[in-house]
Amino acid sequence: MEQIPNSNEVKPISDYDAIKKEFSKFFSNLMESNKSIVNQLQELRESKLGEISESEANIAINDEIINIMKSYLIIKFNFISQKLKEKLDDIVENYSTTVLDDIFDTLISIWVRKFQKEAKVFFISLEQIYEVFYLFGFRIIPSETLDKLTGALQWDIISPYWFDYNFLRDYFNKLSSKKDISKELKNKTWILVELTRIKKQELDKKLSHYQPKEEFYKI
């Protein structure tokens, strides 16, 4: 992974452990259950309905519901994305980019662990998480993180839409051109790419009679 030198004095490992724990707790609390999201959207919908006259209701209701959902998801995404940037900026400033692999793995581990207990939405996709980390010098998804992602996908813990096949395929294409990347890591990445494609096809088939099926990950 490309590293960016940091001339600042590095804080003790004990401090890093405390910051990592706080990071984990903060982002763990941002993951909301599907039930909670539905309830919030319902409240927003009802509040908006009160502003629409009866004569306009039949025409405006569908567009209004879609706009409410989009606005809700955009606000959530912007908040989490900004907080992630702030947290990473502080961590890199104090501990350099050498800890990014560990922090990335920590975030993915939280996501998988929380989703195992109850279906949740994090409002920010794998690609969007990667792009934020990329800004700070992160380039290669570690082997152990790939194992966790592949396992979560294989056992249907996380939706293939969250992984985004196109993103993973492009990421693999860039990775495969690097001579300094091990064959094992490339193979693990390719397995995740192919599994995402297969799982997406399976889910598309199951949900072919239901729309929308990607709302939480398209925005």
pLDDT tens digits for range 49-90: 665 555 455 556 667 777 777 888 888 889 999 999 999 999
pLDDT value, residue 73: 82
- Nearest Cα to Cα of residue 151 among 195, 100, 200: 195
The two tokens of residue 72 are 């809700």
Which of residues 155 and 56 earns the better pLDDT score?
A: 155
Q: Would the pTM count as exceeding 0.85?
A: no
pLDDT value, residue 34: 65
Answer yes or no: is pLDDT of 2 > 50: no
Q: List b or e across 89-107, with b for residues whose CB sees 16 or more CB atoms inside 10 angstroms.
A: eebbebbbbebbbbbbbbb
